[in-house]
Amino acid sequence: MSKIRTPIVVLLGHVDHGKTTTLDKIRGTTVAERESGDITQHIGATEVPLQVIDELCGSVVNKENFKVPGLLFIDTPGHQAFTSLRSRGGSLADLAVVVVDINDGFQPQTYEALDILQDYKTPFVVAANKIDKIPGWNPNQNEPFLKTYQKQNKRTKENLNEKLYEIVGHLQEKGFDSDRYDRVKNFKQNIGLVPISAKTGEGIPDLLMVQIGLAQRYIEDELGVEEKSHGKGTILEIKEERGLGKTLDVILYDGKIEVGDEILIGGYEEPIETKVRSLLKPRPMEEIRESGSEFEKVDRVNAAAGVKVVAPDLDKALAGFPLHVVDEKNKQKIREKLKSKVDEVLIKTEIEGIIVKATTIGSLEAIVNDLKERDIDIRRADIGDVSRRDVVEAETVENPLEKTILAFEVDVLKEARKEAEREGITIFSDDVIYRLIKDYEGWIEKKKKLQKKKKLENVIKPGKFKILPDHTFRQCKPAIVGIKVLSPIKTGYPLMNKDGETIGQIKEIQDQGESIKEAKPGDEVAVSISGPIVGRQIKEGEILYVDIPEKHGKIIEEQMKDLLTEREKKIFEEIAEIKRKDNKFWGI
């Protein structure tokens, strides 16, 4: 028998733009304040029954007009590192809310969220959050947007509308027509913008009303489920519960699951086949992850819902993978699909590359995808704490920049840390993925610059000086003259004139009678030059350049220009121009 299930809503958006806080306001809990780095790291779920929406919306909505039983929110992380989790969320979601900080506007992750929704053709609205931070805004707790908007002064309204027009412009760039939700006549043709404040609750009733309206009007036909079909879900987390052992927190998005059902789930080595021992449902309006021991035992759960599955043999189960209710007909086909997916994410190779460790398959997949996009080679990607074995494997890598382990939300075991310190293996640990990768990239950048600088020490760099008038101390063998340094010079550097003719070599630099290795711009020093005679090959008042060998010029041109000062870059171009009069491909 077919029935209308609860539509699944996904929240997407940039880091810190207010996804979890928006859901908080609906849910009335404080999950956001306890999230690591204020970023939700695992997909969570919240059931909001129609009754609650009716209470929040007051006169804005009449529940008698709706057949949809409520909304089931999946709160997905907002950073681009979570593309794979969001994509999975996108494929599950019937509707989406893109949360944008109205004052910050669209960020890279906002655009990425739109790409995901376009790929999956998921209807969405934009929640323009943090209207309470608009200059002059007069907050009115939990009021519908249109009511609180009427209470604002003219300038504040103009400020708000300016910010909304900016968002309209960004959406237009991506090919979406949009307007403030109350001005939209056809939500299939236009994206609705709902101004909200997750802090004060303003606009939240409107957001819920628009979501429930979209579900009722545009996707009701797609919400029909066969109550007797095999259940399909996604494992959000695997948790140890007192008295129950390991349990699965699951979003069931299709069909049904019953106590006694055979299920197949993703496992560390092989897909796990087990039986449902019991099903626990959280109270509505309570986040699965926050529900503690207050569960209700049920015999059967229908999509869409968040459910805790209790079953034996879950030790090697992997969070982030599908759960399927199976029978003899479909068991083998589903087993092969699950095995293929696990092999895709858990990387074990003999190639050069870094080692990645994470808590769940979902977070591991997110990191692996992000690293691949950045062309960072991975030797091994695995679940679990960083062990001595991981460090020993990292030691076998030849590239010093890849003798590295990235550890997400896992411990570094004591013996592993000791081995890493002894062998010079760098371990990056963090519980926020984007920060972990950012730290690693920053370290790589710093190391590469140090390598370049070291290499540059042996490269003859651009230099230039002027021979001062009346400062000839010796004419030849060697010539000794007073100079003004225009760009750094060192002893041993070869010299040329403005026509590219070889002059000789700097033998010694003296500053007030003391020998120095290098002179800097602005210094007035004496130099001895082997080769020329003053008055013949060189003259007082003449400009001389460092004669950079072509091989060194090529290294500077291709690899090291970013390490030169602006003055050095300019003088390098002058030297190259002189050299290319005789050899137009010099240094290229």
Please report the domains of the chain, with CATH numbers, ordered by start residue: 2-225 (3.40.50.300), 227-331 (2.40.30.10), 346-457 (3.40.50.10050), 464-579 (2.40.30.10)
For 68, phi then psi, to 5°, come to: -65, 130
- pLDDT(371) > 80: yes
Q: Are 110 and 14 spatial neighbours (Cβ–Cβ below 8 Å)?
A: yes
Helix (H) or strand (E) holding 61: none
Query: What average pLDDT does this structure show over 102-130?
Result: 86
**Could you report the per-residue pLDDT of 19-56, keeping only the tens digit for each?**
888 887 877 643 444 444 433 333 457 778 887 777 77
Q: Are 406 and 436 spatial neighbours (Cβ–Cβ below 8 Å)?
A: yes
Please give the structure tokens belonging to residue 284. Answer: 């509505």
Please give the structure tokens belonging to residue 384. Answer: 């679990």
79 carries an active-site annotation = yes
pLDDT score for 221 = 74
CA dihedral sign, ordered 474, 475, 479, 480: positive
Long-range CB contacts (within 8 A, 24+) of 364-369: 364/408, 365/84, 365/85, 365/320, 366/81, 366/82, 366/83, 366/84, 366/85, 366/433, 367/81, 367/406, 367/408, 367/433, 367/436, 367/437, 369/83, 369/84
pLDDT score for 91 = 56
Nearest by Cα to 464 from 502, 492, 496, 507: 496
Beta-carbon contacts of residue 507 (< 8 Å; ≥ 6 apart): 478, 491, 527, 528, 529, 530
State how far the alpha carbon of 281 is from the alpha carbons of 162, 232, 290, 291, in Å.
45, 16, 12, 10
- pLDDT(172) > 90: yes
Residue 373 identity: E
Q: Give the Cα separation of 417 and 296 in Å (integer).
A: 44
Q: Interhelix angle for 83-92 vs 108-120, to 10°?
A: 40
- For 38: left if phi > 0, alpha if psi spans -120 to 50, otherwise beta; the answer is left
Q: Are 469 and 481 spatial neighbours (Cβ–Cβ below 8 Å)?
A: no
Given 14, 79, 230, 324, which residue is catalytic? 79
- 377 vs 266, which has greater pLDDT? 377
Highest mean pLDDT among 14-18, 206-210, 217-221: 206-210
Give the length of the chain. Answer: 588
First to last CA, the chain: 74
- 499 vs 12, which has greater pLDDT? 499
75-84, 164-173, 488-497: the lowest-pLDDT one: 75-84
Highest mean pLDDT among 73-87, 109-123, 224-238, 423-437: 423-437
pLDDT score for 75 = 61
Sole residue written with tokens 């060194």: 552
pLDDT score for 60 = 58
pLDDT score for 31 = 45
pLDDT score for 62 = 61
Instruction: Tell whether pTM > 0.75.
Output: no
- 507 vs 304, which has greater pLDDT? 507
**Could you report the per-residue pLDDT of 545-561, keeping only the tens digit for each?**
999 999 999 999 888 88
Q: Are 563 and 453 spatial neighbours (Cβ–Cβ below 8 Å)?
A: yes
Long-range CB contacts (within 8 A, 24+) of 29-36: 29/286, 29/287, 29/290, 31/287, 31/289, 31/290, 36/431, 36/432
